[in-house]
Amino acid sequence: MQRTITHFEEVKFHSVKHGTCPGCGNKTSRKKTFYQTINPYNRTVDGIVKDRRTIVNELAAEAAAWRKLPTWHVRCELAGEENDDEGQDT
């Protein structure tokens, strides 16, 4: 049996933020990569397949929202919330 793996192009957006951890009060920085794939099912609310530019704009907006959030250390953040669901990819 042969399985075809279709590889969709991934659009990534790297973001870094610096701040003071609300958990321990020390300065810290966090890195996060936002990404989406270009594929026939990834559409805008208007039903148009998202192109690279649309996706980059969305990722940049996500990153901007993320940078406004407090800059927690990973460890301090995990200590604060036990039910952190990893891999929230849709």
Binds Zn ion by CB under 5 A, chosen from 16, 24, 60, 61:
24
- CB of 30 or CB of 50, closer to Zn ion: 30
CB of 66 to Zn ion, least distance (A): 17
- Per rule CB under 5 A, is residue 19 in the interface with Zn ion? no
Find the binding residues for Zn ion in span 63-82 (CB under 5 A): 73, 76
Q: Residue 21 interacts with Zn ion (CB under 5 A)?
A: yes
| 30 closest CA partner among 61, 72, 65 | 72
